[in-house]
């Protein structure tokens, strides 16, 4: 689906961000139809040159944006930046507090000069004792308790993706959409929005915080947690793989035991209730594992799917490029790196009037749109001058 007809068509976003959280926000806005202009220094966004696990950061989170190079040491480029902001609806940034103020681009400075502007700052922390600190996804996962819940306190484990950075970008989108909606209602004022990476992670662990608040019991980490169902485990299969199976209802229990020849459990009066079965997990799970290991993942998947029981093969990211649901029409969209090389990406996880979003997005080479944007600003300035006259 192209930008034509998308909800944010006609919205101009000026973005000065790097790494993941801020660029993710801009990328989603671009996929929803906004014109996102990424402002880069002459050397380019430092994320462009990352390798290793950071190789995908720039192309993934900067698709669909225009690139303009501005050197703020030059008066002409500073003037171009302000002309851009004059025409923009939204300004995205994720610099430490104080850095943009020295360039005259701090939130308060911009709101005074451009009252219409929505300024969205993606920060490590919201206002408070830690607001001066830098942060990374790993930092906030450790601070918030998420790493201890994913692993244990003795062996904390971060989530296996930039989950907080991505979710922080999404909260940026949510707040920007709210500000745009407010303006649509007749309020011409912009907004000063601050999104906190740490507070984003607090939102993720709130369920465990509230559990403690309500019960006084310290939540157990995921590997140590008490199970709420008799079968909710990972099992080895005949072909050397593994599969997760969750038997979570009475109907599932009955179906599972009948399908896999575990009639002994159904005939056992001591296993009459879910609570009874949870307490008997020490004998149920080894017996279930013995039976499940007779089949391969494909056979088990077919059986469990037919029974409407929750299951999942234990995949790695590379396995998803052969998953039939991921490969359905629109599941993956084609994108193009700044050198023209194609790569496939999961589509934005929504359908808009039945269509998938994001096909054919390109990563702009550094400064590819500088001349065009300057020319457009000149025309816009001349047009505005004629209107005033």
- The full DSSP string for 160-171 is SS-HHHHHHHHH
Beta partners for 355? 352
- Within 165-204, strands assigned E span 191-196
Where are the chain's structural domains? 12-206+329-388, 227-316
Topology of the domain comprising 12-206+329-388:
Rossmann fold (3.40.50)
Closest CA to 173 of 3, 30, 345: 30
The count of C-alpha atoms lying within 13 angstroms of the C-alpha of 379, restricted to the half-sphere facing its C-beta, is: 6
CATH code, residues 227-316: 3.30.1540.10
Residues 6+ apart with CB under 8 A from 146: 140, 158, 159, 201, 204, 205
Start-end of H helices in 219-292: 250-259, 263-266, 274-279, 281-292
Q: DSSP secondary-structure letter at 117?
A: -
pLDDT of residue 153: 86
Q: Please, what is the Cα angle at 96 between 95 and 101, to 5 degrees?
A: 80
pLDDT of residue 4: 55
Give yes or no for a contact between 284 and 226, defined as CB atoms under 8 angstroms apart: no
Closest CA to 373 of 72, 15, 68: 68
pLDDT of residue 88: 96
pLDDT of residue 152: 87
Low-confidence spans in the chain with pLDDT less than 50: 1-3
φ, ψ (nearest 5 deg) of residue 67 = -120, 125
Name the token pair of 97: 């507090």
Name the token pair of 156: 């904390």
Name the token pair of 191: 């907004």
DSSP string, 301-359: HHHHHHHT-EEEE---GGGGGG-TTTTSTTTEEEEE-TTS-EEEEEPPS-EETTEE--T
Name residue, tokens 């969205």: 120
Give per-residue pLDDT as tens, 30-81: 999 999 999 999 999 999 999 999 999 999 999 999 999 999 999 999 999 9
Q: 163-184 vs 21-31: helix axis angle to the nearest 10?
A: 50
DSSP string, 127-141: SSTTTT----HHHHH
CA distance 33 to 7: 6
pLDDT of residue 380: 81
């Amino acid at each position: 689906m192209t930008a034509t007809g998308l909800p944010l068509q006609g919205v101009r976003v000026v973005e000065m961000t790097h790494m993941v959280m801020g660029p993710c926000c801009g990328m989603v806005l671009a996929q929803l139809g906004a014109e996102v202009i990424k402002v880069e220094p002459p050397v380019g966004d430092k994320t462009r040159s990352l390798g290793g696990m950071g190789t995908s950061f720039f192309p993934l989170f900067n698709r669909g944006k225009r690139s303009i190079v501005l050197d703020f040491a030059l008066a002409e480029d500073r003037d171009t930046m302000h002309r851009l902001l004059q025409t923009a609806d939204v300004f995205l940034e994720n610099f430490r507090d104080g850095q943009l103020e020295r360039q005259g681009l701090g939130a308060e400075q911009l709101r005074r000069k451009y009252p219409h502007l929505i300024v969205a700052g993606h920060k490590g922390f919201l206002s408070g004792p830690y607001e001066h600190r830098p942060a990374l996804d790993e930092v906030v996962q450790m601070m918030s308790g998420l790493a201890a819940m994913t692993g244990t306190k003795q062996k904390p484990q971060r989530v296996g993706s930039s989950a907080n950075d991505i979710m922080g970008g999404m909260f940026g989108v949510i707040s920007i959409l709210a500000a745009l909606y407010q303006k649509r209602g007749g309020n011409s004022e912009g907004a000063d929005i601050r999104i906190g990476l740490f507070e984003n992670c607090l939102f993720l662990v709130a369920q465990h915080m509230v559990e403690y608040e309500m019960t006084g019991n310290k939540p157990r980490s995921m590997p140590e947690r008490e199970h709420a169902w008799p079968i909710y485990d990972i099992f080895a299969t005949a072909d050397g793989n593994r599969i997760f199976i969750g038997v979570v209802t009475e109907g599932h229990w009955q179906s599972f035991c009948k399908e896999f020849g575990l009639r002994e459990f159904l005939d056992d009066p001591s296993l009459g209730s879910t609570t009874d079965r949870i307490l008997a997990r020490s004998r149920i799970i080894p017996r279930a594992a013995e039976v499940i290991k007779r089949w391969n993942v494909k056979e088990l998947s077919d059986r469990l799917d037919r029974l409407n029981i929750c299951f999942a093969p234990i995949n790695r990211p590379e396995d998803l490029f052969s998953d039939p649901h991921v490969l359905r029409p629109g599941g993956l969209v084609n994108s193009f790196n700044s050198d023209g090389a194609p790569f496939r990406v999961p589509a934005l996880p929504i359908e808009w009037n039945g269509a998938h979003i994001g096909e054919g997005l390109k990563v702009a080479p550094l400064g590819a749109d500088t001349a065009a944007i300057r020319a457009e600003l000149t025309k816009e300035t001349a047009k505005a001058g004629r209107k005033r006259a």
